[in-house]
Amino acid sequence: MQKKNKTSRHLVLYTLVIIVIFAALFVLNQSGSKKGSDNQALSESPVISGQPIAGKQDAKVSIVEFGDYKCPSCKAWGEQVWPQLKRDYVDTGVASFAYVNTLFHGDESRLAAQASETVYLYKPERFWDFHKALFDEQPQANHDERWVTESKVLEVAQAFIPDLDQETFREELSSTLIQAKLEQDQLLVNQFNIQQTPTIMINNRLIANPFDYESIRKAIEQEAE
Ligand code: CA
């Protein structure tokens, strides 16, 4: 009887030890994966001259979005994160915000980007209205369906530039100047090895989760110090 009790006590003890070891391993694993998702500090910040910039141009903190008009997450980011970010840090002069075209979805990404660069060239003051309106045109249900067409980008541009000359705009879309603008963006995409859209950089910090406002807020506060 005595022996049996001793054995079962040992058994309970061993089980507890095993549970504790598994719990410790689990905690270690969790903190490891959390650490892995942390923002990454790169050696440089993107140079944003020549890009559309919202807010105070020479702000100490520079936020850059690598985005694609064909990307549903970019549309979602513009709706869910950007309004608060703009209110808290761009409108208040703490940070500037630049948008870099990242062509991950073929011809339609390219055409949308060409249109945005053309609008920026003609009427830089209407760029952000056009930018938002073009994302608004992205279908909610099936973003893979073809929606970026020459007549669509022209229609959206004309809504903000009533005196737009359609013929000139069409020609400009594929001009060498606009191609050069897209190449400039592509160089940044390559330089920072951008793998997904949207990618958000705050100075030289690459934000691990662009939808984590708390993480963005912390990075901005640290850079603004
Ligand atoms: Ca650009």
- Expressed in angstroms, the distance from the first to the final Cα of the chain is 70
| Average pLDDT rounded to a whole number, residues 203-221 | 97
Q: Tabulate helix, strand, coil % of the chain (nearest 5).
A: 60, 10, 30
Per-residue pLDDT at 87 exceeds 90: yes
* pLDDT value of position 33: 41
Query: How far apart are the CA of 53 and the centre of ligand 1, in A?
Result: 10
Per-residue pLDDT at 36 exceeds 50: no
Dihedral pair phi/psi, residue 113, rounded to 5°: -65, -40
Query: How far apart are the CA of 222 and the centre of ligand 1, in A?
Result: 27
Higher pLDDT, 145 or 9: 145
Query: How far apart are the CA of 50 and the centre of ligand 1, in A?
Result: 7
Per-residue pLDDT at 31 exceeds 60: no
Tokens 């879309």 belong to residue:
173
Task: List, as ranges, residues with CB under 5 A of the ion ligand 1.
Answer: 51, 185
Query: How far apart are the CA of 183 and the centre of ligand 1, in A?
Result: 9
Query: How far apart are the CA of 117 and the centre of ligand 1, in A?
Result: 6
Residues written for the chain: 225
| Average pLDDT rounded to a whole number, residues 104-128 | 96
Closest C-alpha among 104, 101, 105, 125 to residue 113: 101
Query: How far apart are the CA of 212 and the centre of ligand 1, in A?
Result: 25
- Whole-number percent of the chain with pLDDT over 90: 80
Indicate the SS3 state at residue 121: helix
Q: What is the pTM of this model?
A: 0.83
* pLDDT value of position 124: 96
Model pLDDT for residues 38-82, shown as the tens digit of each residue:
899 999 999 999 999 999 999 999 999 999 999 999 999 999 999
Mean pLDDT of the chain: 90
User: CB of 50 within 8 A of CB of 182?
Assistant: no
